[in-house]
Chains A and B, each alone.
Chain A
Amino acid sequence: MIEVQRLTKCYGPITAIRDVSFSVAPGEIVGFLGPNGAGKSTTMRILACFMPASSGTARVAGHDVFAESLEVRRRIGYLPENVPLYGDLRVAPYLDFVAEVKGVGRAERRRRVAEVMERCLITDVQHRLIGRLSKGYRQRVGLAQAILGDPEVLILDEPTIGLDPKQITEIRSLIKSLAGRHTVILSTHILPEVSMVCDGVVIINKGSIVAQGPIDTLVDQFFPTARVEVEIAGPSAAVHAGMRAIPGVVAVQGVTVTDSAGRYVVEAARGRDVRAEIFALASQQRWRLLELRQVGTTLEEVFMRVVAGEEEVGP
């Protein structure tokens, strides 16, 4: 649905993005991640046909964003960063305007606007001036204008920034409900959000893509081991050696270790659960096992490793 190939954008001497390539399948929700200034907004602006790339191509729903901009714009809903809205207009007339500009016929408009307000939970503020709304409501109005006209592709730039936790949850479930019906690309730097909402991620750093793919694949790729965190009171050298000797264990790292006790991270081949063996080892040696738990690898860790390491990795 979205195909981006070797996209490069320069602002004068500054290169905002370089050779960015990725693709998004129909119905998929893809998270576009990266630190501030990595080039997320630039890429999204190009996809939304606001400005052209310096080189490379981007196709949305089969149309080139530069050559067939109007065709692309008929098929996208875009929510820019900071949610620019007309503060002097009221919510319902504003959405009516958006629907009309998007080519929704007069007869259908009222129904479509009402439906979108219902979905975004803004029906109760429809007669208020947008400028007087709280940040959370403004964000929802922004989302409402994006999904108005039922576009195939939604491009959402930081849809949950600046919201309180309750609003974030609401917006998130709203975005989740869009899956299947729309193809969504959303940028964010709230990583747990991506794990909850997205099917796949594209991680961009300093203008280049550093990792992309389904979240599980990325986790496997960057963290090929399963990890267990252990706290044991016992002679540290012996504990270390004992755990290292368990079959399948690839590494044992001491987190905080003193002579008589220590906290370790034990890495084993993925799929191997070494907890039972660690327990057996401890009881056999009469060490006191204080804690034993499996550590799941989060997207956050992948992100930190990828962004800090800057290693180029294919899909």
Chain B
Amino acid sequence: MRVWPIFKKEMRLYFTSPVAYAILLVFTVVMGLFFYLQFSTFAMASMQGMMNPMMARELNVSDAVMRPLFFNTLSVILFLFLMPVITMRLFAEERRSGTLELLLTYPVRDGAVLAGKYLAALALYVVMLGLTLVYVAMMVYFARVEWGALLTLYLGLALMGAAFLAIGTFASSVTENQIVAALITGVILLGFWIVGWFSDSVGGAAGRVLSHFSIPERMDSLSKGVLDTRDIVYFVNLTALALFLSLKSLEARRWKG
């Protein structure tokens, strides 16, 4: 499997065009702002907590800073906006410019091409998440951190990102228009995000199914430090399914017709 050269080429393309820089810049600036707001609010609350021990017991950085940092409405919107941008180029651009034809006639399996591209997107996402570790480092300096909750939060973010990027990769593989790819991804991700809202009103078995697919509910428990295999299996399955569909859509041209 020649995944490595494909991966390297994709990384090079991310970083020779402004795409990666734009994504990283927007992400760090916005997240930095949120972190500043959350952390200063937390600092205020801590000072009040010194007068009020009952309130102080309720305070911890995971709940007060890290979770709101990633799961306030605005950062969710930022996520749903940035993830499709990371993946939209992967196949759509190659299809449009015709380079896919050349790439797929090199002695590499379709699976290796897919893996290389997907891993490159994942790597960019990991860099993105990695940049937020600066905030964690600052918190460690100023406050007492619950390492377990922090770890599951990042695990959850990584798993969620892996699934989102796989969905984006699939969307990019079915069209030759990057904007269309981004829109398809955005709609699917939004769907997974809000599907849980309807579970209560639908109720019954259908409601339980809906809430099963709801991503916020999965992330909620992971970000609180609850490591549930069901959540992990859910994200792994979603990722695998989306990648499988991407592979099939790549192979579709080889179907006899």
The A86-127 residues at the B interface (CB cut-off 8 A) are: 86-90, 93, 97-98, 100-103
Contacting pair A45 B101 (CB below 8 A): yes
Q: A52-B255, A84-B101, A86-B97 are in contact. List 16 more A-B contacts (CB 8 A).
A: A50-B101, A51-B253, A52-B256, A53-B256, A54-B256, A70-B107, A76-B105, A80-B98, A82-B98, A84-B98, A85-B102, A97-B5, A98-B106, A100-B4, A102-B106, A145-B102
The chain B residue sitting closest to A90, CB to CB, is B16
Contacts of A45 in B (CB 8 A): 101
With contact pairs A11-B257, A102-B107, A103-B107 given, residues A84 and B5 touching in the complex (Cβ less than 8 Å): no
Contacts of A129 in B (CB 8 A): 16
- 13 interchain pairs (CB within 8 A)? A10-B257, A12-B257, A51-B254, A54-B257, A73-B107, A84-B100, A88-B13, A88-B17, A89-B13, A97-B5, A100-B8, A101-B6, A103-B2
The chain B residue sitting closest to A70, CB to CB, is B107
Contacting pair B105 A48 (CB below 8 A): yes
Expressed in whole angstroms, the Cα–Cα distance for A147 and B221 within the complex equals 55
B contacts, CB < 8 Å to A: 2, 4-6, 8-9, 12-13, 16-17, 97-109, 253-257
Which 4 pairs from chain A and chain B are nearest by CB? A84-B98, A100-B5, A73-B107, A84-B99
Q: Separation in Å of the B115 CB from the closest CB of chain A?
A: 13
Contacting pair B8 A70 (CB below 8 A): no
Contacting pair A84 B97 (CB below 8 A): yes
Contacts of A90 in B (CB 8 A): 16
The chain A residue sitting closest to B18, CB to CB, is A88
Q: Does A74 count as interface, using CB distance less than 8 angstroms?
A: yes
Expressed in whole angstroms, the Cα–Cα distance for A273 and B209 within the complex equals 91
Contacts of B5 in A (CB 8 A): 97, 100-101
Q: Separation in Å of the B88 CB from the closest CB of chain A?
A: 15
Which of B4, B5, B102 has the most chain A CB atoms inside 10 A of its CB? B102
The chain B residue sitting closest to A82, CB to CB, is B98
Q: Does A32 count as interface, using CB distance less than 8 angstroms?
A: no
Q: Does A49 count as interface, using CB distance less than 8 angstroms?
A: yes
Expressed in whole angstroms, the Cα–Cα distance for A101 and B256 within the complex equals 26
Q: Does A78 count as interface, using CB distance less than 8 angstroms?
A: yes
With contact pairs A80-B98, A88-B17 given, residues A97 and B105 touching in the complex (Cβ less than 8 Å): no
Q: Separation in Å of the B108 CB from the closest CB of chain A?
A: 6
Q: Separation in Å of the A106 CB from the closest CB of chain B?
A: 11
Expressed in whole angstroms, the Cα–Cα distance for A85 and B107 within the complex equals 17
With contact pairs A51-B253, A103-B107 given, residues A86 and B98 touching in the complex (Cβ less than 8 Å): no
Contacting pair B108 A101 (CB below 8 A): yes
Contacting pair B257 A50 (CB below 8 A): no
Q: Separation in Å of the B11 CB from the closest CB of chain A?
A: 11
Q: Separation in Å of the A20 CB from the closest CB of chain B?
A: 16
With contact pairs A51-B254, A52-B256, A97-B9 given, residues A73 and B105 touching in the complex (Cβ less than 8 Å): yes
Expressed in whole angstroms, the Cα–Cα distance for A93 and B6 within the complex equals 12
Contacts of B107 in A (CB 8 A): 70, 73-74, 101-103
Contacting pair B16 A85 (CB below 8 A): no
The one of B6, B13, B109 in contact with A86, judged by C-beta atoms closer than 8 angstroms, is B13
With contact pairs A54-B257, A97-B9, A103-B107 given, residues A78 and B102 touching in the complex (Cβ less than 8 Å): yes
Contacts of B98 in A (CB 8 A): 80, 82, 84
The chain B residue sitting closest to A9, CB to CB, is B257
Contacts of B256 in A (CB 8 A): 52-54
With contact pairs A51-B254, A80-B98, A86-B13 given, residues A100 and B2 touching in the complex (Cβ less than 8 Å): yes
Contacts of B12 in A (CB 8 A): 89, 93, 97
Q: Separation in Å of the B5 CB from the closest CB of chain A?
A: 4
Expressed in whole angstroms, the Cα–Cα distance for A129 and B108 within the complex equals 25
* A33-74 to B contact mask, C-beta < 8 Å, 1/0: 000000000000100111111100000000000000010011
Expressed in whole angstroms, the Cα–Cα distance for A93 and B12 within the complex equals 9
Contacting pair B105 A49 (CB below 8 A): yes
The one of B17, B97, B108, B254 in contact with A52, judged by C-beta atoms closer than 8 angstroms, is B254
Expressed in whole angstroms, the Cα–Cα distance for A51 and B105 within the complex equals 9
The one of A11, A52, A78, A88 in contact with B105, judged by C-beta atoms closer than 8 angstroms, is A78
Contacts of B257 in A (CB 8 A): 10-12, 54
Q: Separation in Å of the A54 CB from the closest CB of chain B?
A: 6
Expressed in whole angstroms, the Cα–Cα distance for A85 and B103 within the complex equals 10
Expressed in whole angstroms, the Cα–Cα distance for A11 and B257 within the complex equals 7
Expressed in whole angstroms, the Cα–Cα distance for A241 and B72 within the complex equals 100
Contacts of B101 in A (CB 8 A): 45, 50, 80, 84
Q: Separation in Å of the B252 CB from the closest CB of chain A?
A: 10
